[in-house]
Amino acid sequence: MSTAFIPVSSQPLQSSFHLKLHILSCEGVTSHCKPPNSLGSHLHHHRVIGWQEVPQVVGKPADTGGITSFNTDKTRCREREQRCSLHVLQFSPRVTEADSIDHKKSDDRTLVDQILEPQDVVRFGVFLYTVGCICAAGLYAVSTLKLEHLALIYFGGLSSSFLYTGGIGFKYVALGDVVILITFGPLAVEFAHAVQVGYLSLTPLLYAVPLALSTEAILHSNNTRDMESDRQAGIVTLAILIGPTFSYMLYTVLLFLPYLIFCVLATRYTISMALPLLTIPMAFSLERQFRSQNFNKIPQRTAKLNLLLGLFYVFGITLAPAGALPKL
């Protein structure tokens, strides 16, 4: 059985690669390995290896329309010197974008661990978009909100969710933070409020600010963690533009500014708005972890804080006496 290695470029590839290698042997003095589509008894070795396992050697692959093949010179096969071929039947770079790029050590492992195939993710996305449109039609049937207002907010959010990584790809041109800040804060809250009361109002936008800041903290911690890999892949994020020091400062502001808002609401309007302050020990823990540049699981921990903060925020508003909070 012949042994050969794949020649690779010295440039780093920012994808999660899987190579399916079929190493063939040669039979007879003048025979050569059969083409990849007729392996037969010549298939002696088949395994999947990771990108890190492929060494760099001298060689020049030939482009054969998706099948890469090259010859190893004077390879001894069954004690006879012949020219044997190593055919790579499948070279499939799987580029995933949960956080722009998925690695074996990444937190975004749905595609890396093959829990879902790329086509499954696409189908699931289409399914969710379809269900969302059906639900929007149902809301129009039961809500008193004008159709043009409902469509404006709904399709605005729908477009933002698609253009974040698809189409223009706001994420890749340092606009992802703006999209997340608007979509997962004021826009979502305004939509929920307008559908229920039947009209648009600026007040929900103000009440959405604490949650919008907390949600942006999740994205920013993720982008800061992936700063180096994003830079190598040519992705531009806010974390890359401002650097590690200012990224820490921004994360701290995003983390603690909501608590300042809650303090103002609690002291000026109703004490029930102090409930979200119960989560502040988690915020200090996250700040220390971020400051030490230990980004392990920090986006997940920030998301957990966001969930608890939102729940206590809702409880605080629910428990507030009628008319205690402005315009509520």
Q: What are 131-150's pLDDT values in tens digits?
A: 988 988 888 888 888 888 88
Distance CA 214, CA 237 (A): 18
pTM of the predicted protein model: 0.63
114 has a pLDDT exceeding 60:
yes
272 has a pLDDT exceeding 60:
yes
- Judged by average pLDDT, the poorest of 114-118, 135-139, 178-182, 258-262 is 114-118
58 has a pLDDT exceeding 90:
no
Give the pLDDT confidence of 144-183 residue by residue, as tens digits: 888 888 888 888 888 887 787 777 788 787 888 888 888 8
Which of 229, 226, 235 has the alpha carbon at shortest distance from 13?
A: 229
Label residue 303 by pLDDT band (50, 70, 90).
very high
32 has a pLDDT exceeding 50:
no
What pLDDT is attached to residue 112? 64
Give the pLDDT confidence of 191-224 residue by residue, as tens digits: 888 888 888 888 888 899 999 999 999 999 999 9
Distance CA 108, CA 106 (A): 5
Each domain of the chain, given as residue ranges in start order, spans 16-94, 118-319
What pLDDT is attached to residue 148? 87
- Is the model more confident about 215 or about 327? 215
- Average pLDDT value over all residues in the chain: 73
- Judged by average pLDDT, the poorest of 102-111, 234-243, 282-291 is 102-111
